[in-house]
Structure 1
């Protein structure tokens, strides 16, 4: 039996944005964004997504921060947090792959057309281009952790939820997740009053449309 020594976390989210709602309508899945994290406090998270919180068209490889940026604009973001046990060697491979993406982040872009490929069950690949779940699946594949027989360009966030290798840790509102750093959350609220005002206004508008 392979010895396990490290834990990798997967964060699946549903921000409730217009684009997210459109994707959700097509996929009929509860979560439509996937990120990979190295700690249960979600201090170090990576994915392919928005580089600017208010502009979904500018996207690529990003180090996400649940305490600022996009997530702070969408206070009612729901999430599912999964974990998977990996060996020390697999963990180091994952680290090295993420480091490569970090060092070459300007070379990568968001694989928007790849989302159409998922809808038609035909992988559409572009060099140095990924969508969120494709990126996370690619990290596992390059780390020699074989989870699916399908191309990574057909892996969706829901595939992580359904895979038996992942254990559910938490499901609910992101900012109710008990392992978040409450001090950082409080500091973010004090440092970003405009963001908090915008988030609360957006929350009211969304409630009116329900």
Structure 2
């Protein structure tokens, strides 16, 4: 497999250190539709609307009728629809990215974007997402089961669990443009 490449900037992003009183700024970014799992996420969080230690930020274009439908799940102060915004602005607002895709993501670029910014990623066990989150299996879930709700419950009750997330620099480097070019070169090299 030759992955998609990224210009991995050598900035140092600071990892959040979670404690039992940490406020969880959950985030969802990308296409806002059923196949990307936004409804799975909203329905999983609705049970925890009485907990005051979290908020959900949703970034991406959305039809007004669909936004109203999603807002019907829980109080409007618990979710903020940001519209289409710059990724850096979005990632500065959150400390946990949730990628609940239902369909088999071929790659899951947003997962790598989160990792590059040292944001904990909770991801669906679909397609390439599970490969990118290798070594973080306890932060993966089957989106068509009770697993997303159970994982969110565990984290909302005990945010310190998020400190176990492994930011493996070697895994991230796998997606650098230099490594991808090297893989393509080796693949097409005539012997």
TM-score of the two chains, using structure 2 as the length reference: 0.26
For CA contacts below 8 A with separation 6 or more, give which structure has more relative contact order: 2
TM-score normalised by L of structure 1:
0.24
